[in-house]
Structure formats: C-alpha cells, structure tokens
Amino acid sequence: MIQIVVLPHPQLCPEGAVLEAEAGTSVCDVLLANDIEIEHACEKSCACTTCHVIIREGFKSLAPSDELEDDMLDKAWGLESESRLSCQSIVTDTDLVVEIPKYTINHAREHH
C-alpha cells in the first residue's frame, strides 16, 4: 500500500494523518474515505478548486495536470508550483505528503 501523509489542517485534520491508499485512487477519494472532509463542490468533476491541495512530496510521481485542471488551478487560493486538484491527482506507486490549504474558494457559493 502507498502512504499519504496529510499535514495538519486546523479544521479538517488538526493532528495530521498517515493514510494508506491503493494505486489508481484519487487523493480526494482517499481523504474522504478516511473522514477528512475536503470540500469537493463540483463532485470531483474538475469544475472548481475546492479540493485544491499542495503535494509537498511525491509531486513528480503524479501524471501531469491537463489544460482543464491548469485553468481551474489558476483560480485557486494559495496556488503553488506543486498545487493540484485532489480529484485529479491519481495515486501511483509513490508515497505522498499532502497539504490542504487553509482556505479554498468556492466560486459558485461565493459568487466569484
């Protein structure tokens, strides 16, 4: 099994977590399956930025983001070079360290 280390987040995962994941599963699905309630307003269809994460370790093991994901990420709060949408980040055979940003932008709810 692959390990995903989730860094502490004040609301979603105050203590941080070490999760096990199967290759082929999205980071978003792994978080949700382990009761880390990351927002996913578009139901994981790559149409929002609420599931934005920063891959602190293992970023290069993920398939490159496509143009649609890149366009969405341009709208994300706290964008960094290792930012990804967790719904589009598919676990491979490499352990990951994931940071959930403190804030998200829900464009539909917040009328952006």
The model's pLDDT over 21-51, given as tens digits with 9 standing for 90+, comes to 999 999 999 999 999 999 998 999 999 999 9
Q: Return the minimum-mean-pLDDT range out of 6-10, 45-49, 59-63, 83-87.
A: 45-49
pLDDT at position 112 is 44
Judged against a pLDDT cut of 90, whether residue 103 lies above it is answered with no
- Provide the edge-to-edge strand list for the sheet that holds 52-57: 17-21, 2-6, 96-99, 52-57, 83-85
> Residue 24: which CATH number?
3.10.20.30
The pTM score is: 0.91
How many independent structural domains does the chain possess? 1
Amino acid symbol at 87: C
pLDDT-derived band at 104, boundaries 50, 70, 90: confident
Q: How far apart are CA 6 and CA 101, in angstroms?
A: 11
pLDDT-derived band at 110, boundaries 50, 70, 90: very low
What burial letters (b/e) apply to 66-100, b meaning 16+ CB within 10 Å? Answer: eeebeebbeebeeeeebbbbbbbbebeeebbbbbb
Residue 6 belongs to what domain range?
Answer: 2-110
